[in-house]
Amino acid sequence: MDFNNPFYGFGQQPAFSQSQPQFQSQFQPLSFQSGNYAHPRQSHQQQQQQQRPYPHLPRNSQLPSRPQSHSQSHTKPQSAPRSRSRSRSKERGSGRDAISAPSLESGGVPEPSSSYLLRASFLARTLPQPRPMLVVIDLNGTMLFRPNRKNPTKFVERPHARMFLRYCIETFHVVIWSSARPDNVRQMCASLLNSSSSSSSSSSHRYSLRSDTTLPANVVAIWGRDKFGLSPADYNQRTQCYKRLTRLWSDPVVQSAHPYGEEWSQGNTVLIDDSIEKARSEPYNAITLPEFLGDTAENPEVLPLVHDYLNTLAYQADISTYIRTHPFNVNDAAPPTLPQ
User: Out of 34-48, 110-124, 168-182, 190-204, which region has the weakest mean confidence (pLDDT)?
Assistant: 34-48
Report pLDDT digits (tens) over 99-125.
Answer: 899 999 999 999 999 999 999 999 999
Q: Indicate whether 81 pLDDT > 50.
A: no
Position 17 confidence tier, pLDDT thresholds 50, 70, 90: very low
244 forms bridges with which residues in the sheet?
none
- Residue boundaries of the structural domains of the chain: 130-340
Position 335 confidence tier, pLDDT thresholds 50, 70, 90: low
- Which long-range contacts (C-beta less than 8 Å, at least 24 apart) are formed by 185-190? 185/139, 185/152, 185/222, 185/223, 185/224, 185/225, 186/211, 186/222, 186/224, 187/152, 187/153, 188/139, 188/140, 188/144, 188/146, 188/152, 188/153, 188/155, 189/139, 189/222
User: Is the separation of the CB atoms in 131 and 261 below 8 Å?
Assistant: no
* Beta strand 144-145 pairing with 156-157: antiparallel
The residue ranking higher by pLDDT, 279 or 68, is 279
What pLDDT does residue 101 have?
94
Q: Indicate whether 209 pLDDT > 90.
A: no
Print burial letters for 105-139: b (CB count within 10 Å at least 16), e (below 16).
bbbebbebeeebbebbbbbbeeeeebbbbbbbbbb
253/266 Cα distance (integer angstroms): 17
Highest mean pLDDT among 11-15, 29-33, 118-122: 118-122
Residue 155: closest CA among 143, 144, 171, 163: 144
Angle between helices 161-171 and 182-194 (to 10 degrees): 100
Q: Tell me the mean pLDDT in the region 247-255.
A: 96
77/85 Cα distance (integer angstroms): 17
120/173 Cα distance (integer angstroms): 22
Report pLDDT digits (tens) over 256-266.
Answer: 999 999 999 99
Please state the CATH superfamily assignment of the domain spanning residues 130-340 in this structure.
HAD superfamily/HAD-like (3.40.50.1000)
Q: Tell me the mean pLDDT in the region 274-287.
A: 96
What pLDDT does residue 50 have?
38
What pLDDT does residue 181 have?
92
pTM over the 0.85 mark: no
Alpha carbon distance, N-terminus to C-terminus of the chain:
12
Report pLDDT digits (tens) over 288-329.
Answer: 999 999 998 888 899 999 999 999 999 999 999 999 999 999
What pLDDT does residue 284 have?
98
Position 93 confidence tier, pLDDT thresholds 50, 70, 90: low
Name the average pLDDT for the chain.
74
